[in-house]
Structure 1
Amino acid sequence: MPFNQLILPLLGGYLLITYANCFIYWTSRQSKEHLIFASAFAGAILAIVARAIALLIANTELGGYLYNFVHDRMNYEGIGTATLALLLGGLLVVWINRAWPAPEAGLWLYGRGVLSQLEALFFASFNGSIPAEGAVFRSLPVELFLRLGATTPILGKLFQKQLRKDQRWMVITSFDEGAGRANPAPIMVSMKDRKVYVGLLQHAPSMKATGMSHLNLEVLLSGYRDKDDLSVIFTDDYTAIFAQNQEDCPEDVEDTSNPGEEMNDGQTLPSFKVLPVSEILSASFFDVSIFERFQKRRAAGVESARERERELAPEPHLLRRVFRALFDK
């Protein structure tokens, strides 16, 4: 194969490692030099597989037809193998992404401990699940082999049975039977400017490094942290505001304040807020019942501290009596 045709297997390898869900997280965080080397390695494997396929069908009637079809249009030695390597890269991307959807690939990365603490929190929050105790997450080649095998028509049921057998996730919220997935868990995000937001992730976290620069949060509560003790103080309850807005503006009431002009075609604007991840100081799951109990305990502790201060402080009426006894005569 002429060297100038190696660009096609290289492109096939690039497509495979940059668009397949199981490789995106790693490749998006590599330098250009590492990305080129990885593309060349994947392209070499695709070229070897393509060459093996070409040799297998070379002496068949189909092989002769394909040889004439390709070389009548591009009469270059080895062009068939190079083109097949490129096509294999694209087909593998489609097959892998169908067998291994992005949310499941993200959860697998979570289980393998590859994600950062913040990324793991985002994936667990959106999927409403965390790794079960004692769960085992296979290596990438084994997991990929099982998932691709689960899509085959003959042995698919056997592989699917093995995948269902592994109960690797524990639902931390409620399970939505209609959607077929766990409901997302709310998170509390504290920003560097002491603002605090509680809400639900609008979209599944991106596995690309560039896609993790900002966070789309459907805000439920917002507030700030006290500058002295950093306690959380909520000032706005967006759930109550949205509920009040729906009561004040029922759907069957037509707004005629601007005749001939309809705001947003009657649609409600998205309620999520875009937050820069670089400005996040801390984040955690949010449970309103635990938060309220913590606030009550904190208030009780502050009140008891004040009581102790009053007990230790001298009685003001006693000092007043002494002062009067000395100077009022």
Structure 2
Amino acid sequence: MPFNLLLFPLVGGYYILIRFELLRYIQYRLESQRILLNSAFAGIILLACCFVMRGLVNIILPSVIQYLGEHMPVKSQYFGTTSFSLVAAVLFTEIANLFVNRKNAIKQSLKKAGNELELLMSSSFFDAHLLQFTMDSGKVYIGWVKEIPKPFTTNYIRITPALSGYRNEKKELVFTTQYLSVYASYITDGSVSDQSELMTDLVLKVDKINTASFFDMEMYKRFNPEEEENPTAH
């Protein structure tokens, strides 16, 4: 087989890896050499499947193989099978994506290859857990991750804040803003019908985050029994 024909299954394997929802997000964090190697393996499997399909069609409908061979634009052995591998890769990927839930695909990818912060973000987004972010400026934000970005593709995260404050000289958490009561007041007086209309989302830069952790208000109150139950709203 001419080596230039192997370009078709190689591109086909690459297409599957970067377009198929269940695989693409894992590829984002791999080095280019690793992606190329994975593409080669995927291409080999793809080409093998195409040869098996060609053999089956040749047994069942030999006239079809003969007809296609006579009408190929390039009269070269194996051209039809190798070029079909690229077509098959595109068709398989796009059809399969119709049956894949994108959010679940991202969630599964994060479980397999996500770092600690990405796993926290996934838990907040999918299970509505509050997260506490302490920035390098000392500012503290507590809220829910508003959206789960494509893994490993951005240096920013967007949250819906519930509380915010700062850490004083003793590293104690001091609340300054209580967003939940503000959300409730707007909804109660009919100014808005949904919190998202207030456009209070915050965008945090990942490399400015010192620490991130789960936040539980009940546990916080037990550790800080003398703190006021309701932080001052501004």
Q: Under a length normalisation based on structure 1, what TM-score does the superposition of the two structures give?
A: 0.59
Larger radius of gyration: 1
Distance 1:91 1:110 in 2: 26
- Does residue 192 of the first structure (1) align with residue 133 of the second (2)? no
Superposition map of 1:1-329 within 5 A: 1-61=1-61, 64-65=63-64, 68-69=67-68, 72=71, 74-77=73-76, 78-94=78-94, 97=97, 101-108=101-108, 114-128=113-127, 184-207=128-151, 209-211=152-154, 213-226=155-168, 228-247=169-188, 250=191, 268=197, 270-296=199-225
Structure 2 residue runs of 5 or longer lacking an equivalent are 229-234
Residue in 2 aligned with 1:257?
A: none
Return the offset for 1:52: 1.5
Higher relative contact order (CA 8 A, sep 6+): 2
Contact 2:120/2:213, CA 8 A, preserved across alignment: yes
Question: For this pair of structures, how many residues does the alignment match?
Answer: 225
Question: For residue 291 of structure 1, what is the amino acid of its counterpart?
Answer: Y
Query: C-alpha root-mean-square deviation of aligned residues, in Å?
Result: 3.0
In structure 2, do the counterparts of structure 1 residues 246 and 86 end up closer, same or farther at CA, with 3 Å as the change threshold? same
Tell me, what secondary structure is at the counterpart of 1:296?
coil
Structure 1 residue runs of 5 or longer lacking an equivalent are 129-183, 253-266, 300-329
In structure 2, do the counterparts of structure 1 residues 103 and 64 end up closer, same or farther at CA, with 3 Å as the change threshold? same
Contact 1:9/1:86, CA 8 A, preserved across alignment: yes
Tell me, what secondary structure is at the counterpart of 1:58?
helix
Return the offset for 1:65: 3.3
Q: Which moves more between the two structures, 27-36 or 93-102?
A: 93-102
Distance 2:142 2:68 in 1: 61
Tell me, what secondary structure is at the counterpart of 1:210?
coil
Distance 1:44 1:30 in 2: 20
Return the offset for 1:41: 1.8
Q: Under a length normalisation based on structure 2, what TM-score does the superposition of the two structures give?
A: 0.80
Return the offset for 1:105: 4.2
Contact 2:192/2:198, CA 8 A, preserved across alignment: no
Tell me, what secondary structure is at the counterpart of 1:206?
coil
Return the offset for 1:44: 1.6
In structure 2, do the counterparts of structure 1 residues 70 and 193 end up closer, same or farther at CA, with 3 Å as the change threshold? farther
Q: Deviations over 1:19-53 (max 9, x none)?
A: 23333343212222222222122112111111111
Query: Sequence identity of aligned pairs in percent?
Result: 27
